[in-house]
Amino acid sequence: MSFPKDFLWGAATASYQIEGAWNEDGKGESIWDRFSHTPGKVDNGDTGDVACDHYHRWQEDIVLMKDISLQAYRFSISWPRVLPSGHGEINQKGIDFYSQLVDALLEAGIEPYVTLYHWDLPQVLQDEGGWPARNVVEPFCQYTQAVSKALGDRVNNWITFNEPFVSAFIGYEEGRHAPGHTDLHEALAASHHLLLSHGQAVPIIRNNSPDAQVGITLNLHPAMAASDSEADKATEAFDDGRINRWFLDPIAGRGYPQDMVDIYGDGMGFVQAGDLDQIAAPIDFLGMNYYMRQISRSTDIPEEENAPRKIYRRDETTEMGWEVYPEGIYDMLLRLGSDYDFLAIYITENGAAFPDKVNYDGQVEDPQRLSYIKCHLAMVLKAIQEGVPVQGYFAWSLLDNFEWAYGYAKRFGLIYVDYETQQRILKTSAKWYGQVIRANGIE
């Protein structure tokens, strides 16, 4: 099964999850430093202080990327490494780190895909109100200006935000991520300021990076009612509205979905005149992260009074407890193709955690991850054959890394990391993925 000839093959990471060096070379504190240093917030008391020590081992990591034949590498920039106090003075050492990384990637023939924000807000800005406060937008623009000016001559592919849903709703409503708040109004305001920052950043990037292709990455989950009951169908509409449409619709120029505004019953007073036009700034591509579907089941009525289910969760799950459902990536892509008109789509993350072990002979065999990626790739190809403009695929993740509130317990890497020694071992899936890239297809 061959992919289109210019299909792009990559792998992804994020700054806080791999870099370590949390307080080196002038880096400021981020909300994830603060959160992980707060007892009880992250499993096992793990922190990103050292992580994969990528800040010191990036050259070695680029060699590994070459071993896998990667054509593109998606990484994120740590805002507090570049602007330790959120705005104001630039930390040249921070910029230099990313500048060297970009040069070395280009020299290795690997295209950099830069994400500006993958969840590590400078703590000083959280102290000033964080994403729920409108005064975060201006510093984000300054940060975008600093980075795109420094790297825009060499970086052509830009992702403003990674999964604003997670930043807003998991960080400010569910509280499982930094900064750990539990307030729906804060989450709604945060989502708006994340989107507004995205919209204002797009022209800044274009201005500094003449060949820029600019997009945003959303985590999309097809929602499916567990039964035909009215209650489950309403839950499906809610789940789809909360996770998918709340972000897709404003970016596509349709504003916030009215059914959700009605349900939230929030005055949405944080939306000012002109904001929605800025949020709808034309983009060149949509980044889609896909891990699983959402089976929607109402909890408003007792289970026994609800209609019989037509959908059950499959038994096959990853170590995260996430159902393996490859058809969902196809369903979501087809829906994007029919309901929206994005010029191009990249799968900016897809992958799975399994409990990997190093064998007696030093190898890491991970047939489940290989199979997960293969089945999802087959579904991506099917969507492409049906006309959806998917232009590339990034496996999550290049390396085992700090999996947020789960710490180091969940391994998503194509490459195994021994956190004691920082030794890296290519898993079977990494070697297989290299063959897929070289063949531009799967068997």
Exactly one of 162, 209, 213, 296 binds ligand FCB (CB under 6 A); that residue is 162
Residues 336-355 that bind ligand FCB (CB under 6 A): 349
Nearer to ligand FCB by Cβ, of 241 and 287: the residue is 287
The one-letter code for the residue type at 361 is: D
Range in contact with ligand FCB (rule: CB under 6 A) among 80-88, 139-147, 161-169, 330-338? 161-169
Single out the residue of 8, 14, 204, 226 in contact with ligand FCB (rule: CB under 6 A). 14
Q: Which is nearer to ligand FCB, 278 or 289 (CB)?
A: 289
Does position 19 bind ligand FCB by CB under 6 A? Answer: no
Task: Give 151 or 405: the residue with its C-beta nearer to ligand FCB.
Answer: 405
Among 22, 158, 372, 404, binds ligand FCB (CB under 6 A): 404
Determine, following the binding rule CB under 6 A, whether residue 412 of this chain makes contact with ligand FCB: yes
Distance of CA 161 to the CA centre of its chain: 8
Q: Least distance from C-beta 406 to ligand FCB, angstroms?
A: 9
CB of residue 56 to ligand FCB, shortest distance in Å: 21
Determine which residue in the list 396, 408, 432, 433 makes contact with ligand FCB, applying CB under 6 A.
Answer: 396
Q: How far apart are CA 331 and CA 380, in angstroms?
A: 10
* Residues tagged active-site: 163, 349
Write out the chain in H/E/C secondary structure: CECCCCCEEEEECCHHHHCCCCCCCCCCCEHHHHHHCCCCCCHHHCCCCCCCCHHHHHHHHHHHHHHCCCCEEEEECCHHHHCCCCCCCCCHHHHHHHHHHHHHHHHCCCEEEEEEECCCCEHHHHHCCCCCCHHHHHHHHHHHHHHHHHHCCCCCEEEEEECHHHHHHHHHHHCCCCCCCCCHHHHHHHHHHHHHHHHHHHHHHHHHCCCCEEEEEEECCCEEECECCHHHHHHHHHHHHHHHHHHHHHHCCCCCCHHHHHHHCCCCCCCCCCHHHHHCCCCCEEEEECCCCEEECCCCCCHHHCCCECCCCCCCECCCCCECCCHHHHHHHHHHHHHCCCCCEEEEECCCCCCCCCCCCCCCCCHHHHHHHHHHHHHHHHHHHCCCCEEEEEEECCECCCCHHHHHHCCCCCEEEECCCCEEEECHHHHHHHHHHHHCECC
**Least spacing, CB of residue 403 vs ligand FCB, in Å:** 6
* Binds ligand FCB by CB under 6 A, chosen from 403, 408, 417, 436: 403
- The two structure tokens encoding residue 378: 């087959």
Of residues 85-144, those binding ligand FCB (CB under 6 A): none
Binding footprint of ligand FCB, residue count (CB under 6 A): 12
Per CB under 6 A, the list member of 157, 160, 289, 306 interacting with ligand FCB is 289
Site string for ligand FCB, 33-52 (x = CB under 6 A): --------------------
Closest separation in Å from C-beta 306 to ligand FCB: 30
Taking CB under 6 A as the binding criterion, the range among 66-74, 159-167, 228-236, 367-375 that sits at the site for ligand FCB is 159-167
- Among the listed ranges 173-181, 220-228, 271-279, 396-404, the one in contact with ligand FCB (CB under 6 A) is 396-404
Give the strand pairing for 423-426 and 223-225.
unpaired
Establish if 408 lies at the interface with ligand FCB (CB under 6 A).
no
CA gyration radius, the chain = 21
Residues 443 and 437: their CA atoms lie apart, in Å, by 12
Judged by CB, which is closer to ligand FCB: 280, or 377?
377
Applying CB under 6 A, among 91, 123, 126, 219 the residue interacting with ligand FCB is: 219
Of 12 and 384, the one with the shorter C-beta distance to ligand FCB is: 12
- Part of the chain binding ligand FCB (CB under 6 A), chosen from 52-60, 137-145, 158-166, 428-436: 158-166
The contact mask relative to ligand FCB for 252-281 (x = CB under 6 A, - = no) is ------------------------------
Give the closest residue to 251 by CA, choosing from 289, 195, 169, 193. 195
Footprint on this chain of ligand FCB (rule: CB under 6 A): 14, 17, 162-163, 166, 219, 289, 349, 396, 403-404, 412
